[in-house]
Amino acid sequence: QSALTQPPSASGSPGQSVTISCTGTSSDVGGYNSVSWYQQHPGKAPKLMIYEVTKRPSGVPDRFSGSKSGNTASLTVSGLQAEDEADYYCSSHAGTNNVLFGGGTKLTVL
Amino acid sequence: EVQLVESGGGLVQPGGSLRLSCGASGFTFGDYWMTWVRQAPGKGLEWVATIKPDGSEEYYVDSVKGRFTISRDNAKRSLFLQLNSLRAEDMTVYYCARFGYYFGIDVWGQGTTVTVSS
């Protein structure tokens, strides 16, 4: 199975909003409400930001939100802050308890 | 504190074997699906394998089927990944991780590095 498709880069100025897309197929993103989003700073382990498409773990700011339409999921970061600059990865159940990750998006805060 | 700590990474020749271990603390290990995820330097995340809480079922990415084996010892709160027939493309950082939500990984180890080189 191919990785989920994410734009390689995204950017925004402090205070602005940015949306990162994650496109799959009806066999993964479109077929399950299992999309998660992870934030990864250089040299660090990933951190869960969104699970089950729209839910935030405790401690994740409500500036981070998730959504899905058809085979495409999205992560929106509102009120961009300098510390939001990181790599972001989506993932989804892909059937038979397999997991697919996206290729990652480097978010730059201008 | 909820924590996962990997060990066992290192240098191995192509075709060789290695066993990665992951010790869990701060939560009831036997209640959770566990997984291994890897990441090559400068590259994205790749799911490798998942195991059910009781160890009765295992799932693998196609590229490692028949070569890697995930296992667990709930009494010792430990997760393992046996890596056989290693190839250059297996050379990455391997993360031990917990599915705390429906396909959401909420706890990650610090990663252990596997280097495949002659």
| Token digits of residue B97 | 């991780």
Q: Which pLDDT band, with edges at 50, 70 and 90, does A2 fall under?
A: confident
Q: Are strands B58-60 and B45-51 parallel, antiparallel or unpaired?
A: antiparallel
Residue for token digits 């240098």? B11
**Average pLDDT in the B70-86 region?**
97
CA B13 to the chain's CA centroid? 19
Residue A76 to residue B69: CA distance in whole angstroms: 37
Tens of pLDDT, residues A8-31: 999 999 999 999 999 999 999 999
| Interface residue A101 vs chain B (CB under 8 A) | yes
Q: Is the pLDDT of residue A96 over 90?
A: no
| Interface residue A96 vs chain B (CB under 8 A) | yes
Tens of pLDDT, residues A40-86: 999 999 999 999 999 999 999 999 999 999 999 999 999 999 999 99
| Of the partner residues B35, B46, B108, the one whose CB lies closest to the CB of residue A46 | B108
Residue B32 to residue B30: CA distance in whole angstroms: 6
Per the CB < 8 A criterion, the answer to whether A30 and A97 are in contact is no
Q: Is A36 within 8 Å of B50 when comparing Cβ atoms?
A: no
Distance from CA of A88 to the nearest CA of B (A): 10
Per the CB < 8 A criterion, the answer to whether A63 and A77 are in contact is yes
Contacts with A36 from chain B: Cβ below 8 Å: 101, 103-105
